[in-house]
Chain A
């Protein structure tokens, strides 16, 4: 038996086809106009999950980059402070050598001692340096690590940890004790002892202190070198992180964004199909046997 096609069947089929093409066109139109390939998870379930993961990773990476930049700023402050500290210590060393030479009278020695004490304050100020409200050499403590009038370290030895990459933490500070040594035999104590010897005019005793001052200077210089290494590491990490973010953003957009050219081509194709279906449908459905009776 030949297939029996009725007007209603044709109309139904036509309407179903038109609405199918229309749904596709709506989808393409949305993609062309807002550029997103995934507007709800069911558009691409795996893709949606990956987009979410990428989004989290991108934000994490941005947060890490922010932390790295801030850490570098913090360490720059510490480095500048250490620079003045080392310079002051070297100044003290020069004065010490001068005092040890034995060519100065007691009055000269007194003025040298006063100069050394001034430089000691420079050292103290350097170690009390602040980055924002934080004392960079006080560890996790919130007060000056070397308050005036005392030589003992008032900060903590806890490190300031920063998360600089997923699973990667870095201590960005050094404690005052690392720079100056531990009281009662730290650099400030050494300077005080030196000042006493200078004031007493004891050239030999002052001479004996030169070696100790060298040790103190080297300790501070070592710390500076170590911090320099950490800063270098952070700077290379910063570059790597921004590279990672770029790649993540790229990968995300491959999944999440539509290829504009392709989407537009699809849209045009569907439009043609839609018009063809309309033209054919309306022309066939208009005619019936009634036109010929």
Chain B
């Protein structure tokens, strides 16, 4: 059996087609050079089946003759282990970035160190008390102390309200997160179906896989999860003990989560991502600072009231409350309404005794307030004075924020490295694509030249031979 006269034409045609496919792929890569999550593709070629196969009926000939080239597949150059690493780092980065942002707001609420913070108000409170102690007969000094006490209470209210706001932001964001997670998982579920269908039909759905990987990157910025890919190309995503949030075996392909599920997952299953940071802020960090602030406010209310109650007012009566003893939280700290020293500063009990015709110059009870009460450690505050306790609170906050800032800087480096490694494998390089383009272009041209050479041969064969006698 002889090979077909026209076989060379077919071989050249295959070459032209294959190089065209490679050129198309190059064009696709170049077009998507700026597309987020795009993975570069490559046309994998191989030699098509040679002519002819040896068999009992085949004439022996000197070796097989190649039949040209075919495109085996369009490969997607991606490393799923790098993806896992990228997602892990993205989660850490998002968590720390959220912590830094929110702790920044917490720090802004405290306004330290500055001349507007609680520490300044506290110092001014005691200075005003000292002025009363020195000049108890002067209504101006008493009024000054009443204002300072009011300002201190307002200061506590303000910081507490600001902290509460930051906490509620985290709460609101967690609620939004639920929608985000469910949106992402339902889109992944839809892509799962498309991917499966494509693979069943023998296609390689590169761009669908890119879209799905991008969604999984986004999900990792919200929370950590585990994922497995089945042979049919579908992914299953598992969210801790909650179970699968993306599961091709259930109807719809995904299971929505609720806010309660997010709360239940913290802290055992949730260890990274924005949602993790918000949970930390909402459940632990900000309530912790609020509790410390409350403890401080309570202790100030208790001690100042007790001191005032031990003294005598400017009218010789026993002292009452300065601050309302019922409202000991920082949020509600206020001057006592029934015994308002704002309305009647004479109610300030600066005197430690009231003998004979009265002791309007006696400020010794307030000397006690400024000297002993201010300088004494308080049991509920861990044996610290008011000012020490507050200053260690701010120092602790600063350390926490500083640690978060450092972690973000580290996480940025890690994410850069991981994404860089991914780019190394999957990123499109313009220079590379252009040089490939030149290669494919030349290969195409050469195949075309082979074809026209074949054409000339056949022209000679058909038009110039067998013309004897014509």
B395 touches A4 (CB 8 A): no
Give the size of the chain A interface in residues (CB under 8 angstroms): 55
Does A102 count as interface, using CB distance less than 8 angstroms?
no
B430 touches A288 (CB 8 A): yes
The interface-forming segment of A50-58, A121-129, A196-204, A275-283 is A50-58
B119 touches A162 (CB 8 A): no
Min CB distance B348 to A, Å, is 15
| Interface set, chain B 317-360, CB cutoff 8 A to A | 351-353, 355-360
* Binary CB contact string for chain B from 144 to 163 against chain A (1 if under 8 A, 0 otherwise): 00000000000000000000
Min CB distance B360 to A, Å, is 4
Q: Residue of A at shortest CB range from B406?
A: A42
Q: A9-B424, A41-B112 are in contact. Are A52 and B119 (CB under 8 A)?
A: yes
Q: Residue of A at shortest CB range from B399?
A: A45
Does B375 count as interface, using CB distance less than 8 angstroms?
yes
Does A161 count as interface, using CB distance less than 8 angstroms?
yes
B431 touches A52 (CB 8 A): no
Does B104 count as interface, using CB distance less than 8 angstroms?
yes
Min CB distance A237 to B, Å, is 15
| Interface set, chain B 131-149, CB cutoff 8 A to A | 133-134, 137-138
Contacts of B275 in A (CB 8 A): none
Q: A9-B427, A41-B107, A141-B358 are in contact. Are A163 and B127 (CB under 8 A)?
A: no
Q: Cα distance A48–B399 when bound, in Å? A: 10
Q: Cα distance A42–B428 when bound, in Å? A: 41
Does A148 count as interface, using CB distance less than 8 angstroms?
no
Q: Cα distance A197–B98 when bound, in Å? A: 94
Q: Residue of A at shortest CB range from B388?
A: A53
* Binary CB contact string for chain A from 34 to 75 against chain B (1 if under 8 A, 0 otherwise): 000010111111101101110110011001000100100000
Does A5 count as interface, using CB distance less than 8 angstroms?
yes
A4 touches B424 (CB 8 A): yes
Min CB distance A90 to B, Å, is 30
Does A149 count as interface, using CB distance less than 8 angstroms?
no
Q: Residue of A at shortest CB range from B409?
A: A20
Q: Cα distance A46–B137 when bound, in Å? A: 42
Contacts of A48 in B (CB 8 A): 112-113, 394-395, 398
Contacts of B352 in A (CB 8 A): 158
Q: Cα distance A55–B113 when bound, in Å? A: 9
Q: Cα distance A140–B120 when bound, in Å? A: 31
CB<8 Å pairs between A and B, sample of 13? A7-B431, A40-B112, A40-B398, A41-B107, A42-B399, A44-B402, A134-B137, A139-B359, A140-B351, A154-B356, A158-B362, A160-B362, A163-B370
Chain B residues near A (Cβ < 8 Å) = 33-34, 103-104, 107-108, 110, 112-113, 117, 119-120, 122-124, 126-127, 130, 133-134, 137-138, 351-353, 355-364, 367, 370-371, 375, 387-388, 390-392, 394-402, 404-405, 412, 416, 419-420, 423-425, 427-432, 434-435, 438
